[in-house]
């Protein structure tokens, strides 16, 4: 009972916030609605027992991707009116994509109910009593430890590469020197003058 | 098996990985001044990794539940990879110092170390996951290295092209991997071999999924090997990348990719030999012919060497197409000799510079080199004759080894066409020799004060000269032992 209630709650909020994401006038609001959609999708994942995916959704999508979106949206000066103007122009393409997507879903559903291709020589049988985070951790840190560490090295290379290719020392830049600022005394920096009328000041 | 035993088998990768991380910290704090120290230390780390191969890393067998294989084949390929990587580090400082614009940064040797680590993982991979992670580690470092000269637009272009096309190749490979995994239910090479052996590959009951997976995996690997028809990126990337990086691309990653392809072909898909042989034969012949024909019109020496590398990969694939122990040992022999010839040629290219010290790359600037720099001209002539496979030189033995294996495996048409096409290839190698010896002298290249590079050129010239034949008995024993590890 409670599961059904929770499911309908999460599902309705996902659909509503999804609709609001594409229809809200302010792009910042769109991103906020998107975050709400992610959270509720995570709730749905918890209900089906995929708590690892739920955590991924919250940590990766909400924590990183959506925040990045928010930054980008806030940096860009987006004119909603000009985007709206394009809707009519691209309606046909959008509709075609939607039809293709719907058709694919039908085909997938049909194939699924017709039976599956034989893909079932699993090396890691799923044990229903083990939570999937624990099952995944067991594999990642024992059997696949070497590959896992290798993937870590790949990320390290990506980081080094990004820094090597973009970082440069700006020799002409003027950095703030706080010590010098603090050491500066009023009598060195300012001077009291009383200019004659019409004479101006000597700088 | 305990963790210690597993780790002992992966010792070379541990040495390289930890060494690279430690040197990266040195580079981060030491900045530009630490370049020299980091470079020297990197060469020692590579030497350390070679030493680490002596123990269980070359004879231990399967590590990490079969994900990684430490055998003689992997060890042989790793020695080649580490030596080529070390040479790429050694030849860099002089080039970057002379070239206006970007200085050598300490990240260069660090990235080469990480790339070498990835290549080690590639040749030891006994699982599709390990294969992919190793390949990505190698490729990602290579993309950065290709665009290392940030102020040079051609270098940036090379990096971008390499990155986009390399990502496409990874996508193709991953698609193949996903098909194979889906239809066999395992990513382990042993399991895949079992599934391929159990499924008929032709006739009514053939598994299209397995066949498509095989085709996509070989297409992805051919991309990394730069074999025709997946070679288009090679000339642009080789021309645009800084010369030491080009030398690196033409040597170590080729060994790693061909080692990987050999292991996948023999260990994972050995029972589908008839299926992948068609692909390999086509790639081999197309590479040999296109590499030879397209090189004729080139005027840039780096572009020419790029086509030469395509051509040579074709010859190495002839050995793989046999699918026999002799074929694999022929491939390894070919790679040893090819690496020395290629690194030697690139070391000579590094000496090509005008009076201001800027590098020149046109073949015309080599005119009359025999009169201005006779030693250099003789060395380049030896490399060119050897690449052309002309008998008294060691390059002939490389071609002989693969064609001998092809004939023994009964692939007569492949051997015949390959030998005929190698004659076309000889034309452009000999054209360089003719330019150096019979044309009017162009302005002389200034003499290099770098003793190490001169020494390396002399060493590789001696190796590919007829004196190299003295190594044949030892080389034969090693390559046979390495090839036997796969069967």
pLDDT reported for residue B58: 84
Domain limits for position B61: 3-484
Say if residue B108's pLDDT is above 80: yes
Say if residue A124's pLDDT is above 60: no
Tokens of A60: 């990766």
* Closest approach of A163 to chain B, Cα-based (Å): 10
Going by the DSSP 8-state scheme, the letter that residue B228 receives in this structure is T
pLDDT reported for residue B168: 94
Q: Which tens digit of pLDDT belongs to each residue from A143-178?
A: 889 999 999 999 999 999 999 888 877 777 777 888
DSSP string of A5-46, one letter each residue: HHHHHHHHHHHHHHHHHHH-SSHHHHHHHHHHHHHHHHHHHH
CB-based contact A150 B144, cutoff 8 Å: no
DSSP string of B13-62, one letter each residue: HHHHHHHHHHHHHHHHHHGGGGHHHHHHHHHHHHHHHHHHTTTGGGT-EE
Helix-, strand-, coil-residue percentages of chain B, each rounded to 5 = 80, 5, 20
Top-confidence residue, B115 or B151: B115
For chain A, the residues whose C-beta falls within 8 A of a C-beta of chain B are 117, 119-123, 143-147, 149-151, 153-154, 156-158, 160-161, 163-165, 168
The CA angle B78-B79-B81, to the nearest 5 degrees, is 60
pLDDT reported for residue A119: 53
CB-based contact B117 A153, cutoff 8 Å: yes
Which of B345, B313, B147, B296 minimizes the C-alpha distance to B224?
B313
* Highest mean pLDDT (candidates A33-37, A67-71, B271-275): A33-37
Q: Kindly list the residues from chain B whose CB atom is less than 8 angstroms away from the CB atom of residue A163.
A: 107
For chain B, the residues whose C-beta falls within 8 A of a C-beta of chain A are 6, 10, 17, 21, 24, 63-65, 67-68, 105, 107, 110-111, 114, 117-118, 121, 127, 129-130, 133-134, 136-137, 140-141, 143-144, 147-148, 150, 159, 182-186, 188, 191, 195, 209
Rounded to whole angstroms, the Cα distance separating B388 from B426 reads 5
Alpha-carbon distances of B286 from B155, B295, B301, rounded to whole Å = 28, 14, 22
pLDDT reported for residue B421: 86
Alpha-carbon distances of B383 from B317, B345, B364, B454, rounded to whole Å = 21, 6, 18, 14
CB-based contact A161 B141, cutoff 8 Å: yes
Average pLDDT over residues B332-347: 94
Which of B71-85, B106-120, B124-138, B351-365 is least confident? B351-365
Q: How many CB pairs under 8 A join A and B?
A: 86
B199: exposed, middle or buried (Cβ count in 10 Å: 0-12, 13-18, 19+): middle
Tracing tokens 């995916």 back to the chain, one arrives at: A53
pLDDT reported for residue B86: 95
CB B84 within 8 A of CB B251: yes
Going by their DSSP bridges, the two strands B61-63 and B68-70 should be labelled as antiparallel
CB-based contact B144 A160, cutoff 8 Å: yes
Q: Which tens digit of pLDDT belongs to each residue from B190-206?
A: 989 988 888 877 777 77
Tokens of B174: 């991953």
pLDDT reported for residue A80: 65
Say if residue A104's pLDDT is above 70: yes
Could you tell me which residues come within 8 angstroms of residue A28 by beta carbon, excluding any fewer than 6 positions away?
A70, A73, A74
Say if residue A25's pLDDT is above 60: yes
Q: Which tens digit of pLDDT belongs to each residue from B449-466?
A: 778 888 999 999 999 888
* Highest mean pLDDT (candidates A7-16, A174-183, B53-62): A7-16
pLDDT reported for residue B391: 84
Helix (H/G/I), strand (E/B), else coil: B60: coil
Beta bridge partners of B353: B359
Which of A34, A38, A15, A16 minimizes the C-alpha distance to A26?
A34
pLDDT reported for residue B32: 86
Average pLDDT over residues A116-123: 55
Going by the DSSP 8-state scheme, the letter that residue B68 receives in this structure is E
CB A31 within 8 A of CB A69: yes
pLDDT reported for residue A190: 84
Say if residue B1's pLDDT is above 90: no
Say if residue A120's pLDDT is above 60: no
Rounded to the nearest integer, the mean pLDDT of chain B is: 90
Please tell me which residue of chain A has the smallest CA distance to B125: A147
Q: Kindly list the residues from chain B whose CB atom is less than 8 angstroms away from the CB atom of residue A168.
A: 150
Which of B316, B323, B321 minimizes the C-alpha distance to B338?
B316
Average pLDDT over residues B112-136: 94
ipTM of the shown complex = 0.91
Cis preceding linkage at B229, omega within 30: yes
Question: Taking the alpha carbons of B273, B276, B278, B283 in that order, is the dihedral positive or negative?
Answer: negative
CB B255 within 8 A of CB B316: no
Tracing tokens 């020299």 back to the chain, one arrives at: B36
Alpha helices in B91-231 (DSSP H): 92-98, 107-124, 128-146, 153-184, 189-198, 208-225
Q: Which tens digit of pLDDT belongs to each residue from B412-437?
A: 988 898 888 888 888 888 889 999 99
What percent of chain B stands above pLDDT 70? 99
pLDDT reported for residue B318: 92
Number of folded domains in chain B? 1
pLDDT tier at A33, thresholds 50, 70, 90: very high
Supply the pTM of this predicted model.
0.87
Say if residue B139's pLDDT is above 90: yes
Rounded to whole angstroms, the Cα distance separating B133 from B313 reads 23
Say if residue A202's pLDDT is above 90: no
Interface residue of A150, A156, A165, A168 to substitute, partner B, most B CBs within 10 Å: A150
pLDDT reported for residue B123: 94
pLDDT reported for residue A152: 94
Say if residue A121's pLDDT is above 60: no
Rounded to whole angstroms, the Cα distance separating B249 from B230 reads 16
E strands, chain A, in order: none
pLDDT reported for residue A6: 92
Average pLDDT over residues B118-131: 94
Tokens of A39: 């959270």
Backbone angles phi, psi at B202, to 5 degrees: -140, 170
Helix (H/G/I), strand (E/B), else coil: B487: coil
């Amino acid at each position: 009972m409670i599961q059904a209630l929770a499911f309908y709650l999460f599902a309705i909020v996902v659909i509503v916030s999804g609709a609001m994401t594409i229809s809200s006038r302010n792009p910042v609001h769109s991103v906020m609605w998107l975050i709400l959609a992610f959270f509720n999708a995570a709730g749905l994942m918890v209900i089906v027992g995929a708590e690892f995916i739920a955590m991924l959704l919250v940590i990766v999508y909400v924590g990183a991707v959506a925040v990045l979106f928010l930054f980008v949206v806030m940096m860009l000066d987006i004119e909603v009116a000009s985007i709206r103007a394009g809707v009519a122009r691209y309606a046909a393409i959008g509709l075609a994509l939607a039809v293709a997507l719907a058709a694919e879903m039908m085909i997938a559903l049909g194939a699924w109910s017709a039976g599956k291709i034989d893909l079932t020589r699993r090396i890691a049988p799923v044990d229903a009593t083990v939570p999937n985070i624990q099952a995944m951790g067991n594999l990642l840190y024992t059997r696949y430890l070497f590959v896992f560490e290798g993937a870590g090295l790949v990320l390290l290379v990506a980081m080094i590469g990004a820094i090597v290719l973009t970082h440069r020392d700006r020799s002409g830049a003027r950095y703030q020197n706080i010590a010098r600022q603090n050491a500066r005394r009023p009598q060195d920096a300012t001077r009291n003058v009383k200019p004659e009328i019409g004479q101006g000041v000597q700088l | 098996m305990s963790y210690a035993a597993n780790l002992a088998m992966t010792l070379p990768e541990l040495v390289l990985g930890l060494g690279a991380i430690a040197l990266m910290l040195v580079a981060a704090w030491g900045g530009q001044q630490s370049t020299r120290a980091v470079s020297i230390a990197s060469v020692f780390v590579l030497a350390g990794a070679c030493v680490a191969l002596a123990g269980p890393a070359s004879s231990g067998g399967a590590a990490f539940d079969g994900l990684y294989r430490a055998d003689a084949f992997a060890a042989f390929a790793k020695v080649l990879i580490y030596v080529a990587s070390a040479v790429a580090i050694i030849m860099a400082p002089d080039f970057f110092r002379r070239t206006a614009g970007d200085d050598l940064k300490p990240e260069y040797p660090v990235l080469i170390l990480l790339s070498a680590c990835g290549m080690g993982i590639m040749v030891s991979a006994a699982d599709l996951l390990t294969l992919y992670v190793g390949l990505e580690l190698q490729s990602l470092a290579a993309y950065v290295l290709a665009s290392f000269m940030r102020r040079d637009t051609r270098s940036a272009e090379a990096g971008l092209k390499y990155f986009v096309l390399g990502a496409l190749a990874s996508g193709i490979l991953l698609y193949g991997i996903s098909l194979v995994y889906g239809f066999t239910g395992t990513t382990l090479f042993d399991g895949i071999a079992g599934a391929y052996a159990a499924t008929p590959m032709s006739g009514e009951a053939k598994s299209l999924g397995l066949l498509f997976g095989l085709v996509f995996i070989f297409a992805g690997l051919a991309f990394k090997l730069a074999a025709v028809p997946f070679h288009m990126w090679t000339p642009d990337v080789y021309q645009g990348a800084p010369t030491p990086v080009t030398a690196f691309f033409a040597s170590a990653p080729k060994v790693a990719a061909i080692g990987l392809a050999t292991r996948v072909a023999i260990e994972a898909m050995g029972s589908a030999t008839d299926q992948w042989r068609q692909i390999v034969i086509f790639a081999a012949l197309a590479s040999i012919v296109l590499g030879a024909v397209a090189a004729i019109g080139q005027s840039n020496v780096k572009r020419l060497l790029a086509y030469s590398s395509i051509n040579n990969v074709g010859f190495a694939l002839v050995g793989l197409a046999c699918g026999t122990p002799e074929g694999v040992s022929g491939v390894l022999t070919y790679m040893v000799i090819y690496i020395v010839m290629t690194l030697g040629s690139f070391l000579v290219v590094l000496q090509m510079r005008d009076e201001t010290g800027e590098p020149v790359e046109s073949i015309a600037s080599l005119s009359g080199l025999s009169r201005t720099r006779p030693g250099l001209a003789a060395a380049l002539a030896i490399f060119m004759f050897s690449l052309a496979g002309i008998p008294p030189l060691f390059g002939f033995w490389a071609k002989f080894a693969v064609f001998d294996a092809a004939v023994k495996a009964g692939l007569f048409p492949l051997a015949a066409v390959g030998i005929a096409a190698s004659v076309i290839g000889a034309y452009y190698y000999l054209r360089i020799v003719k330019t150096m010896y019979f044309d009017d002298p162009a302005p002389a290249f200034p003499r290099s004060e770098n003793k190490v590079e001169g020494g390396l050129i002399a060493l590789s010239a001696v190796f590919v000269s007829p004196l190299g034949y003295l190594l044949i008995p030892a080389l034969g024993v090693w390559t046979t032992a390495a090839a036997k590890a796969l069967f």
